Amino acid sequence: MDSPDQYKASTSHFWNFSCLTILSAGGYLLVKVESNTIKMFSKDLPVRQAFDYVDSHMGGSMSVEIMIDSGKKDGVKDPAFLRQLESLQDYINKHPMTMKTMSVLDLLKKMNQALHENHPEHYTLPETKEQASEYMFLYETSGGGELDKQVSFNYDIARLTARTKSLDTKTSRFSYQISPVLQKNTSTR
């Protein structure tokens, strides 16, 4: 049988443990998880000022790289795939965290415009697979060195780069927000 002193000690331990548990739970609610370590620096520090400047004046300090598989060799040259990629790129451009996007589409549109005496109304995608192939071939043979960074060797995968402001934990849901649009706009397989 327990003595009264043992009972008081066990009751005291119970209440101490309960208080510590409640205080700990309250403390856990105040913890913020942050994946953007630059936000932890004071705005007075040069490193923070540099990041803020890059975010506001130079197209963002982070990039999100999206690789889109067309599902077939030379699929990136297919006008239907290019239109779907353009739709995805337009959607990402409208996202508030996006500063700029880049893909093979930009190159193809510039090539089309250049081959039509730089008229702005020709800043459009090629209309046929053959035109897309010719533009890419012309670009490569004229010394263009960026194409291999935007499409795979077999032209089955296109790369879409989105330059963004510094993404913190709260705004890093960027990829989850574009995922449904990515699936909808890349259904050429």
Neighbouring C-beta atoms of residue 130, cutoff 10 Å:
11
- 48-90 tens-digit pLDDT: 888 888 777 776 777 888 899 998 999 999 999 999 999 999 9
Closest CA to 122 of 112, 132, 131, 130: 112
Please give the angle made by the CA atoms of 77, 162 and 43, to the nearest 5 degrees.
Answer: 170
The model carries a pTM of: 0.69
Tokens of 144: 């263009």
Per-residue pLDDT tens for 169-179?
A: 666 666 656 66
Between CA 166 and CA 174 the distance in angstroms is: 11
Q: What DSSP character marks residue 151?
A: B
95 pLDDT band (50/70/90 cuts)? confident
Q: pLDDT per residue over 141-179, tens digit each? A: 888 778 888 999 999 999 999 888 776 666 666 665 666
Each domain of the chain, given as residue ranges in start order, spans 4-31, 38-185
- Mapped onto helix, strand or coil, the DSSP state of residue 126 is coil
Looking at residue 188, what is its pLDDT?
Answer: 45
pLDDT at 19 over 80: yes
CA separation for the pair 4, 117 (Å, rounded): 99
pLDDT number for residue 189: 44
- 23: left (phi > 0), else alpha (psi -120 to 50), else beta? alpha
Local structure of 157: helix, strand or coil:
strand
> How far apart are alpha carbons 34 and 36 in whole angstroms?
6
Rounded-to-integer distance, Cα 135 and Cα 144, Å? 11
CA distance 158 to 64: 14
Q: Report the mean per-residue pLDDT for the chain.
A: 82
Q: Is the per-residue pLDDT at 1 higher than 60?
A: no
Residue 3: its pLDDT value, please?
Answer: 66
* Interval 97-121 mean pLDDT: 91
